[in-house]
Amino acid sequence: MSPLEDRIDYKFRNSLLLAEALTHPSLGHETQQYHFDNQRLEFLGDAVLQLVMTEYHFQNIRAAPEGQLTKLRSRLVSREALKTHALGLDLGRYLMMGRGEEASGGRARTSTLADAFEALVGAIYLDGDLATARKFILAQAKDELAQIAEEPVDINPKGQLQELLQSISPVSPTYETISQSGPEHERTFVVQVMWGGIVLGKGSGRSKKQAETAAALEALELQGWKK
């Protein structure tokens, strides 16, 4: 198992947990030896993933309302997202499964890979703790999280705000950086969006673009142009 442990940057103290996470139910069905499979760990891992992603979005995307946070979380824990993480780890290669399942393409099946990734998360949580599982999950999702930080919703909030305001007046909203703080590598920007002399919203972020997006999101939520 050491090559996989190298890939995930985690060394199991209890190697049986890793073996359980990598055992597909088809192996027991085929051999009639129902010792263990990864379904219970998959159940646990799903809950840990939901918690970690909920916590991350709550702490890092402060301007988004509940509905958008739920949508973002769903995108990051979807079957396709988890399959992508599993493929990045070459997880299918390490799975133990029945010959029939393997012959039918089980090692590349979306549901199989997504379930195995959830089971792996559950195993890391049990072998380590929540902090260890959180570190692993966020490391695997870092590219998606970086993309969300720049554009946290499927729509373009700045574009949507401009379209709404220009249906009222030809004047476009403007964005003004009102403060920046922190060291160079961890700078935080605060931006406000103005329209017709009115401050419609404020937002903060690790880049001006992220802060502008947060400001546009708040403006869309508050709808100050109607007051």
pLDDT of residue 124: 98
pLDDT of residue 168: 86
How many Å apart are CA 44 and CA 65, to the nearest integer? 27
CATH of domain 2-150: 1.10.1520.10
pLDDT of residue 152: 54
pLDDT of residue 158: 86
* Annotated catalytic residue within 20, 42, 46, 115: 46
Residue ranges of domains in the chain: 2-150, 157-226
Contact 160, 78 (CB under 8 A): no
Residues of the chain with pLDDT under 50: none
What's the predicted TM-score (pTM) here?
A: 0.66
pLDDT of residue 170: 83
Give the CATH architecture of domain 157-226.
Answer: 2-Layer Sandwich (3.30)
pLDDT of residue 109: 86
**Annotated catalytic residue 163:** no
* Annotated catalytic residue within 20, 37, 101, 118: 118
pLDDT of residue 34: 66
φ/ψ of residue 136, rounded to 5:
-65, -50
**Annotated catalytic residue 6:** no
pLDDT of residue 63: 67
pLDDT of residue 151: 64
